[in-house]
Amino acid sequence: MSVPAFGLGTFRLQGQVVIDSVRTALDLGYRVVDTAQIYENEAEVGQAIAASGVARDELFITSKIWVANFAKDKLIPSLRDSLRKLGTDYLDLTLIHWPSPGNEVPVAEFMAALLEAKQLGLTRQIGISNFTVDLMQQAIAAVGAEQIATNQIELHPYLQNRKVAAFAQSQGIQVTSYMTLAYGEVLKDPVIHQIAERHQATPAQVTLAWAMQLGYAVIPSSTRRENLAGNLKARELRLNDQDMALIAGLERGHRLTSPAGLAPAWD
């Protein structure tokens, strides 16, 4: 896979909280860190990485371009600013965070600018986030499916986003699941609990393993060392066909992230 299957998310973590989370994760063996311009924590993430002593070539760092920086004269300067904050010469993956509100900046314009950033060596891979099938088709028309490493979307047992995931995978575009634990809602689900008990695992491990077995990358976040360590063990858990079918049955179209003015017309 072009994007590692397991990493650390940093959404909603700022200041010393994100520094501690990233440093603890790196100490435990995490090597993938996901941030974004709008999280306002890139400098702290960079600080934690620098303090960790982990070599840059062992890491996979992702950030996302905010909608205010989509215009062709703004995207690359904003990415250079992100690199400065993160203390690195390049990102491993740079994503368009949301579609441009009201199509203010056309998909073709920001995807061309993002591809230019890749050609300049500012990022090794490029991708998209929160894109519908229609928007993915526009991005593919702009730069080619082979240039798009991933579409990072809300995806968890209660919102399995099958149409978007199937289209992405049909084009060779990897799916990255964010909010895989649905803000913790699925961790209380009796079906997930039953599966966890059978495997002597935690509900979080079951949920993350389910997503990875479907071929998705996951980027759970946590501020607690025991949860960070526990989540990491999801990589070793194998669910059987019955487990996977039970979780498939939890789909209920329960979307948690749909900000007014940003969200597209969801599939």
Residues annotated in a binding site: 97
Rounded Cα distance between 167 and 250, Å, is 21
CA angle 144, 150, 152 (to 5 degrees): 135
The SS3 assignment for 106 reads: coil
The SS3 assignment for 218 reads: strand
Query: How much of the chain is in helix, strand and coil states, percent to nearest 5?
Result: 50, 15, 35
What DSSP assignment string belongs to 141-180? HHH-GGGEEEEEEE-BTTB--HHHHHHHHHTTPEEEEEST
Please enumerate, by residue number, every residue annotated as part of a binding site for substrate: 97
Q: Which residues are annotated as catalytic?
A: 39
Which of 64, 102, 104 shows the shortest CA–CA distance to 82? Answer: 64
